[in-house]
Amino acid sequence: MFPRRGKPGPSKMKTVGIIGMGRVGSALAYTLDRRGYDIVVVSRRFSPGERAAVQDKQYRVVTLFQMAEEADLVFIATPDGVIESIAEDLAKTAPPGCPKAVFHLSGAHSAELLAPLREKGVLIGSLHPLQSFANVKQAIENLPGSFFTYQGDAALIEEAGSLVEQWGGILKILPSPESKVIYHAGACLVSNYVVALAAMGVCCLGKAGFQEEEARRALVPLMEGTVNNIAALPLPKALTGPISRGDLEVVKAHLQVLEAELPEIRKVYRLLSSFLGELALKGNNISKETYQELAQIIKTHN
């Protein structure tokens, strides 16, 4: 489709345009620049002709028309709510045949947000890094080696794979536009909701006399150990704690103290205990009788 270049460095499209210079856009610019791509950016924080800085690098800020004219490939790295309008503006602005392809980075939305560009002969796709980006520094560090999911035009799969290869990552092709939402829900549960669980753990340790920062530092090695278990073992075998060993008296004690001290957290504990019980039963960690007893305890403490 496009001429290949030698490795290392970009294998097909040389000039990359990035719309939006937040955490993800900045990480894309920096990491692709280091891999030999030419970068131009559009950002509401900078005027055309200025330079946008990311750590020790600076990138030329251009207009939307200039980006469409110069870039082989464009990433829309903005909040989800404005992707469609940017695609419409780009479709109105772009010269014929420019750019060759556009990706958006939304995890939850399909490539169809970019449909106005397809009507202008532009290849479209959604390329989502399955990663957490708390700030620009962490984004630059976390992006390489990540899983990326792709959904969109089949003609862009090879290009998506080439880009992901530059990051040392792994590409997964999603089966349909509809699969994006359930995929993204799973990603949010594992990433965002882990932070919520950590906050609840900090609350519990606070009741036991820990200072907030002390509690956070104490829980991080425990969480890291759990992640190591998940990486090394099937999920039922990675499960530890009272439910995994059928110690239901401890579960009762937890529910009682949470009811007295942190009733909102008790609600979450009950819901997760039911799910953990099913996981423990599936892995033969506990007997069916123990699982049924757990279910009764959870029901009693409704």
The whole-angstrom separation of Cα 75 and Cα 215 is 40
**Which pLDDT score, from 0 to 100, does residue 192 have?**
95
Contact 92, 121 (CB under 8 A): no
Q: Is residue 145 part of a domain?
A: yes
Residue 132 lies in a domain: yes
The reported pTM is 0.88
> How is residue 294 written in tokens?
């757990």
pLDDT at 7 > cutoff 90 = no
Same domain, 261 and 120: no
Residue 11 has pLDDT above 90, yes or no: no
Residue predicted with more confidence, 11 or 147: 147
Q: Which of 177, 203, 220 is the last residue of a domain?
A: 177
Calculate what percentage of the chain has a pLDDT beyond 90: 91
Task: Single out the residue in 177, 206, 237 at which a domain terminates.
Answer: 177
pLDDT (mean) for 154-169: 96
Per-residue pLDDT of 78-132, as tens digits, reads 999 999 999 999 999 888 878 999 999 999 999 999 999 998 999 999 999 999 9
Look up the CATH number of the domain holding residue 72. 3.40.50.720
In the predicted structure, residue 1 carries a pLDDT above the cut 70: no
pLDDT of res. 148: 98
pLDDT at residue 12, as a whole number: 60
Q: Are residues 146 and 217 in the same domain?
A: no
Please tell me the distance from the alpha carbon of residue 52 to that of residue 21, in angstroms, as a whole number.
8
Q: Tell me, what's the pLDDT at 97?
A: 78
Q: What per-residue confidence (pLDDT) applies to 111?
A: 97
Using the predicted structure, report yes or no on whether residue 14 has a pLDDT greater than 70: yes
- Return d(Cα 24, Cα 242) in angstroms, integer: 40
Mean pLDDT calculated for residue range 33-38: 94
Residue at 168: amino acid letter: G
Tell me the CA distances in angstroms from 32 to 20, 63, 219, 273, one per residue in order.
15, 20, 35, 44
How deeply is 128 buried, as exposed, middle or buried, from its count of CB atoms within 10 A (0-12, 13-18, 19+)?
A: buried
Question: What would the pLDDT profile of 187-228 be if each residue is shown by its tens digit?
Answer: 999 999 999 999 999 999 999 999 999 999 999 999 999 999
Chosen domain end from 135, 150, 177: 177
Examine the domain organization and report whether 187 and 170 are in the same domain.
no
Give the structural domain span for 111. 15-177
Average pLDDT, rounded, for the chain: 93
Beta bridge partners of 123: 101
How many independent structural domains does the chain possess? 2
Q: Assess whether 37 and 164 both reside in one domain.
A: yes
Assigned domain for 90 exists: yes
